[in-house]
Amino acid sequence: MSVSAIFYEFYKLNREQYINHIFTKYSVITQIYRDHKQKNNSDIMLDANLAVYKMQLVKENEKQQEIIDNAKVLKREGFESVKQSLMLNEKGLYTKNIVTKIRATMLEYHHQIYFYMQTQRAAILIKDEDLHPYNNINILYAYSTIFMIISFSFIIVLQKLRPLIRLRKKIALFGNGNMNISFATNNCDEIGLVSNELEATRRKISTLLEARTLFLRNLMHELKTPIAKGTIATQMLDSQKQRDRFSSIFSRLEALVTEFALIEEVTSLEDKSEFSEYRVVDLIDGAIDMAMIERSCVTVAVDGDAKINVNYRLYTTAMKNMIDNAMKYATDKHIKIVTLNGELSFESLGKRLAHPLNYYIEPFTKDNPSKNSFGLGLYLVDSILKAHSQVLAYEYENGVNRFIFA
């Protein structure tokens, strides 16, 4: 656009200069026409004088009128022609200036240049065979050449940037959890070097994640084995009090390992392949079953047609933790699950949280150490919601604690 604007302004300036240059020929025509009138020469002599400068008089009235009516006016100027004459009176000789007003108009008609000379008493139309209208072919050629060069350069730049566009898309896929994406390339330019460095980094991250996952799973497997053996051995104790004490210990250890396994699964969730669309009421029913509480303890006021795309086991676990939380801390041991502004809300009567929500979504955080909890409930809920691109919010109003899946 800038080049086009510059060339357009240059075209107008160049055309104006060309017209001004060829218009100076009117002075020659004026001199010839003035001599013709002063000497009262014949039209043949006028034609001969004009022919010297490759000009000819247009004599046909119809042709002359056609040109005047339809021609394009290139430039027009009005000026005065001064003629000096010697006069004699009683005082002697003196010079008399006779001023004649002349208007010169340069016309373009059918790719020919005409000069239309007008005086107070007469007018002539002269065709100039030597002059030609302005031709913009040179400027057009220069503009086309530069425009093609710029366009070709722009296409080359786009071609060079295509690997960068592909790299950006791959980075987005990698950020969304696709750990199998490859950044490797055979290009040796700067983009290729960055891509290969990203590929090396991806492999290191994948190796670390695999090692971490393998370590945690093996660790939890090794922990479950002695817990199971301890649970069996507990039943062989003679003292009921000892059996109950050790059973409680091993149960808590098993619950802790289970929650650790769930945390590991949430944090290592790589893709959305296990995500499907479920009705919210079905998810709530599954969470109630997991919590193993009476249906009368839960009031559900959710649209039966509402659906959400989630990992069923993880999302129902998050709901189950919210139900468990209400059963532990609600004053009436009752929870209400409703839809609030299009978001799922878990409401229960009780005291306001003593700390901000950020305090409770940290692992191993709880207000009452005597409660049968590891302080991982809300941490798990928050982690699961983040894996589903959601957040956990909290409100307290009129004695009601409200936890919202937003």
**For the chain, what is the domain count?**
3
CATH number at residue 202: 1.10.287.130
Distance CA 271, CA 181 (A): 12
User: Which CB contacts under 8 angstroms, 24+ apart, belong to 122-125?
Assistant: 124/33, 124/57, 125/57, 125/58, 125/64, 125/67, 125/68
Helices (H), 53-125: 61-70
Instruction: Tell me: do 177 and 300 sit in the same domain.
Output: no
Phi-psi map region of 54: left, alpha, beta (phi>0 left; psi -120 to 50 alpha) = left
Phi-psi map region of 389: left, alpha, beta (phi>0 left; psi -120 to 50 alpha) = left
pLDDT grade for 114, boundaries at 50, 70 and 90 = very high
pLDDT grade for 370, boundaries at 50, 70 and 90 = very low
Calculate the alpha carbon distances from 191 to 153, 204, 232, 339 in Å. 19, 20, 61, 48
Does 80 score more than 70 pLDDT? no
Does 152 score more than 90 pLDDT? yes
Residue with tokens 């800038």: 2
- Domain of 335, in residue numbers: 275-405
CATH number at residue 327: 3.30.565.10
Instruction: Tell me: do 38 and 113 sit in the same domain.
Output: yes
Residue 364 and residue 375 in contact, taking contact as beta carbons nearer than 8 Å: yes
* Residue 366 burial by Cβ neighbours in a 10 Å radius (0-12, 13-18, 19+): middle
Max Cα separation, the chain?
Answer: 167
**H or E element that contains 383:** helix 377-387
Does 333 score more than 80 pLDDT? yes
pLDDT grade for 269, boundaries at 50, 70 and 90 = low
Distance CA 36, CA 28 (A): 12
Instruction: Tell me: do 55 and 96 sit in the same domain.
Output: yes
Q: What is the pLDDT of residues 279-292, one digit of tens each?
A: 888 888 888 887 88
pLDDT grade for 387, boundaries at 50, 70 and 90 = confident
Distance CA 149, CA 108 (A): 35
Which of 118, 135, 152 is the last residue before a domain boundary? 135
- pTM of the predicted structure, to 2 decimals: 0.47
pLDDT grade for 358, boundaries at 50, 70 and 90 = confident
* Residue 275 burial by Cβ neighbours in a 10 Å radius (0-12, 13-18, 19+): middle
**In Å, how far from its chain's centre is CA 384?**
31
Which of 71, 103, 135 is the last residue before a domain boundary? 135
Does 299 score more than 60 pLDDT? yes
pLDDT grade for 153, boundaries at 50, 70 and 90 = very high
Residue 384 and residue 317 in contact, taking contact as beta carbons nearer than 8 Å: yes
Instruction: Tell me: do 9 and 124 sit in the same domain.
Output: yes
Q: What is the pLDDT of residue 122?
A: 78
Instruction: Tell me: do 308 and 331 sit in the same domain.
Output: yes
88 by DSSP, 3-state: which?
A: strand
Q: What is the pLDDT of residue 34?
A: 73
Q: What is the pLDDT of residue 366?
A: 58
